[in-house]
Amino acid sequence: MSTPTSGSKSHTAQAKLAAGAIGVVFGDIGTSPLYAFRETFRGAHHLPIDDLHILGVVSLIFWSMTLVVSIQYVSILMQADNKGQGGSLALVALLSRHIGSSPHGWLVVLLGVFATALFYGDSMITPAISVLSAVEGLTVVDEGLSPYVIPIALGLLVGLFVIQKRGTAKVGALFAPVMMVYFCVIATLGLIHIFDAPEIFRALNPWYAINFFITDKWLAFLALGSVVLAVTGSEALYSDMGHFGRGPMRFSWFGFVMPCLLLNYFGQGAMILGMESVAAEEAIRNPFFFLAPEYLRLPLVFLATAATFIASQAVISGAFSITHQAIQLGFIPRLSIRHTSDAHSGQIYIPFINWALLVAVIVLVLTFQNSSNLAAAYGIAVTGAVTLDTLLMAVLLLGVWKWKAWIAIPVVLLFLIVDGAYFAANLTKVPQGGWFPLLIGAIAFTLLTTWAKGRKLMRERMTEIGLPLDIFAKSAHSSAKRVAGTAIFMNSGSTGTPSALLHNIKHNKVLHERVVVLTVQIAEVPFVEEAQRIETADLGEGFYRVILHYGFMEETDVPKALKQVEICGGKFDIMHTSFFLSRQTLLTADKPGMAIWREKLFSWMMRNAATPMEFFRLPTNRVVELGSQVEI
């Protein structure tokens, strides 16, 4: 039975997590007011500034936030946690455990992989559009500052990516207070204008959104492509669930973030609603900054810039996290991963991803020049990922949770209609920039699926030509000289003899006193219990098989795990242990398992992958690599 003291400590811990979520998770959706309302009126398709359209747009924003964020993600999908973790890949791993053996299991994986591919497009566009839209506030303060917007934005963005290698622990401590101040300020500014035009609350009635469609039809449909910018970042709420827990995140969303955002959006609508036509035309070009009185606009620019900086940081960290998951689940080659915190294993830095994102962001800023042009590209990445998540949600409701069809199908159809409409509206913006995230998504999808397919073919080929380890142990014992020490041969499969072991005895004609064949297996759960980490088998004649089990969110530190092994001939002394690695060179087969161009792409990815030595944290002076050729 918990005591009052333990209960208060629990509430304090939950409150800290809720505050942390405000600082890290809600930055993306929290900075949407900078451009969402503006783009709906002054984006690719201009809307008239009158009561019908102002109330219609605000109503659409309110109901979009309610349906997509509050119900679909926060209420339903957050229930689908994979041992506490969320996100497309975690959801795919969860679904695969239940329906992976079914005929349609491959389709679930394909949907998750494509959603992940679109996330990379999102992680490139978010820093560019967020920081640009904040810095553009300078032009509201002084039109003469326009030439400095792009140089300032680029300077901030370069600085953001440069500091990534230092880790986010210290900077992260400032995130929550800054974002809390930001949300309070934008809510207050919105509330001030709501008092001047309280009739804006009529937009709570969905009839105004419906009437917008009845009146304008095609124009209203096109406006959806900009309205959806108000819910960008909703996928991040689900992806970051493992860091803070669903309870604190729901509390933060419903109790603080959503009310602040809605007050700001309603405030922007109320401000325009209460203006004369000439003043409204001036204000609509950047209504977020016009909410503030003239003397407060420059401080608001600084605050908004800090908020967009934080929002960008969260997306970059998310890119590192999802890349780590994809590597562990076998969709991306091994990359160099640096841990930036001794206390938190989730804080990582991946140099290749960091610098690739920086180059892409710089190209985006220089190509699109302003946030309005970038908004056309932004929507497709977001709506595409949300629509794919809806399809995965359908599998979840029917295949895993076993909802009754008469309940599940209407729920799924509702979200497919809503999310599909947003996606379709954004497809009309492909010529204006929507091609960019689709291109990035196609490239990422090709790379991810090529690597996964290539690894599968290579393992199958190695199994075909492999020799059972127990048979090899018996035959090799009497045919080779034994030398002192321990040799560990890394093996990708849990059966068969590693090619490095075969080549070692063929060329060197020696075996160590203790020979260990070691396999690292990644489970479809985020974390593996320590009691289930190590699996061992004594094959006799000094041969042992060891399998190390890790979750897809864990780092694979082989020496650390081996320190816990005592039954395979005694404890391991790493400095008297040699690690043998197999390095395969791919040859094109007469009947290739993949198209020739994909085989060449897979070969290139293999050559540029980080070495197992670095990935498994093996001591550099204890590693021997032996090569072989494999046809796939």
Average pLDDT, rounded, for the chain: 85
- At residue 631, the pLDDT reads 67
- 196-200, 306-310, 355-359, 590-594: least confident range: 590-594
Q: What residue has token string 């299991």?
A: 105
pLDDT mean over 7-12? 63
> What pLDDT, in 10s, does the model give residues 274-294?
888 888 888 898 999 999 998
Q: 599 or 204, which is more confident?
A: 204
Domain range 14-453, its CATH number among 3.30.43.10, 2.60.40.1180, 3.40.50.20, 1.20.1740.10: 1.20.1740.10
- 334-348, 491-505, 548-562: least confident range: 334-348
Separation between Cα atoms, residue 133 and residue 136, nearest integer Å: 5
516: its two tokens:
């260990």
Residues 88 and 392: beta-carbon distance below 8 Å: yes
pLDDT mean over 498-506? 82
Residue 346's pLDDT band, with cuts at 50, 70 and 90, is: low
Q: Cα-flanking dihedrals φ and ψ of residue 619, to 5°? A: -65, 125
pLDDT mean over 497-516? 83
Q: Reduce the secondary structure of 325-336 to three states and give it as a string.
A: HHHHCCCCCCCC
Residue 27's pLDDT band, with cuts at 50, 70 and 90, is: confident
Helix axes 405-427, 371-395, angle to 10 degrees: 160
> What pLDDT, in 10s, does the model give residues 321-336?
888 888 888 889 888 8
Nearest CA-CA partner of 113 in 96, 82, 90, 88: 88
> What pLDDT, in 10s, does the model give residues 109-139?
888 888 888 888 888 888 998 899 999 988 8
- At residue 2, the pLDDT reads 45
Per the DSSP assignment, residues forming a β-bridge with 584 are 628
Q: 85 or 223, which is more confident?
A: 223
Residue 379 is which amino acid? G
pLDDT mean over 569-594? 78
> What pLDDT, in 10s, does the model give residues 422-472?
999 988 888 888 888 889 889 999 999 999 888 888 887 777 666 777 777
Per the DSSP assignment, residues forming a β-bridge with 629 are 585
- At residue 198, the pLDDT reads 93
Residues 129 and 435: beta-carbon distance below 8 Å: no
Separation between Cα atoms, residue 506 and residue 480, nearest integer Å: 9
Q: Cα-flanking dihedrals φ and ψ of residue 489, to 5°? A: -105, 115
- 37-41, 171-175, 342-346: least confident range: 342-346
Nearest CA-CA partner of 503 in 548, 472, 546: 472
pLDDT mean over 209-220? 92
- At residue 290, the pLDDT reads 93
- At residue 599, the pLDDT reads 86
- 226-240, 458-472, 548-562: least confident range: 458-472
Length of the chain: 632
Q: Is the model's pLDDT at 262 over the cut of 90?
A: yes
Sign of the CA dihedral 324, 327, 333, 337?
A: positive
Residue 161 is which amino acid? F
Residue 67's pLDDT band, with cuts at 50, 70 and 90, is: very high
- At residue 288, the pLDDT reads 94
pLDDT mean over 216-221? 90
pLDDT mean over 77-99? 79
- The fraction of the chain above a pLDDT of 70, given in percent, is 92
Domain boundaries, the chain: 14-453, 466-631
